[in-house]
Structure 1
Amino acid sequence: MVGRRRALASAAAVAACGVSVLGFAGGGLAANQGLLAGRIPGLSEPDENGWRTYRRPDEKSGGHGVGWSPIIPYSFKVPDGWEEVPVSIADLGGTEIDLRFANSKQGRLFVIVAPVRRFADDLDDATIEKIGTPEKVITAFGPEVIGENVEGKVLASATAEHLGRTYYQFELEPPHVFITATAAGNRLYLFSVTANGLQWKRNYKDLKQIAESFRVV
C-alpha cells in the first residue's frame, strides 16, 4: 500500500506540472511541458471548425540575449491534433528556431526568429519592406528554411497586410513548403509549413491555411 501511495503521489506531481509527452512517427517526441524549460502551452481550445490558435506566451523563454528586447509574440492556427515538438540546436536553423509543431499525418511547421542586424543595420523597428522586396527576401532567407538555394523553386508569391503589418507569402517546390515572412521590432520572422508528397497532396488546403494564418501580435 505504501508503495502504491508513493506511485500515485509521483504521478500526481507529474500531472501538476502539466507534462504531456507524445510520440510522432518520424517526428521525434512532442511535448507540452507546462512551465518546464520555458515550454509553456499556448494552444486555445478548438473552434467550431476544429482549429486551434497558438499564441506564443509572453513568459516563454528564448531569444532574450544581451541587449535584446523580449520576442514580440506571434500566433497561427492549426487543425486539432497538431502538437508542439522539441527544438534541437542541431536542427536546420539552429538556435534561431523558436518553435516546432507537427502532426504525423499532415505535416510539420517551425518558426525562425532571427536578429535583423544579421541582415541590415539601424533597423530596431524593422518592417519586411525595409529588409527588401519579396524576391530579395526569399532569395536571401529561403535557404535558411529549406537548406539549399531557392532558384527555380518558387512556384508562387503574394503580399498580404494585416493591421498595418506586411507579410510575404511563398510556395516552393521541391521541397513542398509554404513560407510566410515578416519583421517586427528588431527581428525577422520566418514561418515554414512543410510536408512530404502524400501529406501535401491530401492536406494542401489546410497547410496553406496554416501558413496564411501567421501573425505577429
Structure 2
Amino acid sequence: MAREATAAYGTAASDEVASEGEFTTFYGAANPPATYGSIGGTTKALAKYSYEVPDGWVEEATSKVEKGSGGQDSRFVKSGTKGAVKAYCLTLNPAGQDGASFALTEAALQAVAGALSDMQDSITAGQISTKRAKEDGREYALFEVDADRKYVVKISIDNTGRLFAFVITAPASQFNRDKKNIERMANSFRVYSSVSQFV
C-alpha cells in the first residue's frame, strides 16, 4: 500500500501474514485540533498511541472540525468498501464526562458514541459485551457492539486522564468476513504516557 509520511509507519513485529497481506503499525500523534487536515501520524519515539493496519486500508485525513468536535485523531478505510469498513482513533478530554475523570466503563463507551452518531444507533439496538485486560502495565476495556452495524471499541486512559478509543466498524456481513483482521487490529492498539515509553 502506498503511504505518505512514511515516518508514521513501521513494520509489524510479527511475521504472521493476514488474509489481506502484511500489516504495518501506525503511530498516532494526538496533537491539538489546529494541527489537523493532513495525514501522517508521527514517529515511533513521539507516539501517543499505535495500532496495526492491514494492507488494503487507506488513511483519510481528519479535519480540524472532526478533531475539535468529535476527537477524531486518525482514520483508515478499507479500500473497495465505499467507507463502510473503517477504523478511527478518538481522543477525548475528561470534560467529555462533565468534568469527571474517565473510567473504563460503559459511560466511556457512551462518550465515544457521542462523537460517532451511527454508533449510538448500534448501541441502542444491539448487544454489548465487555472484556478487561492489562497490557504492558496499562488497563484496557474492549467493547463489542453486535448489531446490523458492528463495532469493536478498545479504550484506555493515559496518564493525563485523556481517553483514547480505537473504533473499528463495519456492516455485520463484512465485519464477519474480516473478523480475523479486525481482531488483530483491535488487539494491537496501545496507548503510551505523555512521556514516550520508547527508548
Aligned letter for 1:62? P
The change in CA–CA distance for 1:145 and 1:93 in structure 2 (over 3 A counts) is farther
Higher RCO (C-alpha under 8 Å, 6+ residues apart): 2
The percentage of counterpart residues that share the same residue type is 21
Equivalent position of 1:96 in the other structure:
71
CA distance in 1: counterparts of 2:181 and 2:109, whole angstroms: 22
Count of residues in correspondence between the two structures = 169
Length-normalised TM-score, structure 1 = 0.64
RMSD in angstroms over aligned alpha carbons? 3.2
8 Å contact from structure 2 (residues 70, 115) kept in 1: no
Aligned-pair CA distance for 1:192: 0.4
Report matched runs for 1:99-114 at 5 Å: 99-105=74-80, 107-114=85-92
CA distance in 2: counterparts of 1:191 and 1:133, whole angstroms: 13
Residue 205 of structure 1 aligns to a residue whose secondary structure is helix
Structure having the higher Rg: 1
Aligned-pair CA distance for 1:170: 0.8
8 Å contact from structure 1 (residues 166, 182) kept in 2: yes
Aligned-pair CA distance for 1:41: 4.5
CA distance in 2: counterparts of 1:151 and 1:134, whole angstroms: 16
Equivalent position of 1:161 in the other structure:
134
Equivalent position of 1:171 in the other structure:
144
CA distance in 2: counterparts of 1:101 and 1:82, whole angstroms: 6
Confirm whether residue 207 of structure 1 aligns to residue 182 of structure 2: yes
8 Å contact from structure 1 (residues 93, 145) kept in 2: no
The change in CA–CA distance for 1:152 and 1:119 in structure 2 (over 3 A counts) is same
Unaligned runs of 5+ in 2: 17-21, 36-45, 193-199
Unaligned runs of 5+ in 1: 1-19, 23-30, 35-39, 66-70, 124-130
Equivalent position of 2:11 in the other structure:
45
Equivalent position of 1:62 in the other structure:
32
Residue 195 of structure 1 aligns to a residue whose secondary structure is strand
CA distance in 1: counterparts of 2:98 and 2:135, whole angstroms: 24
Confirm whether residue 115 of structure 1 aligns to residue 93 of structure 2: yes
Aligned-pair CA distance for 1:91: 5.0
Aligned-pair CA distance for 1:72: 6.2
Aligned-pair CA distance for 1:162: 1.1
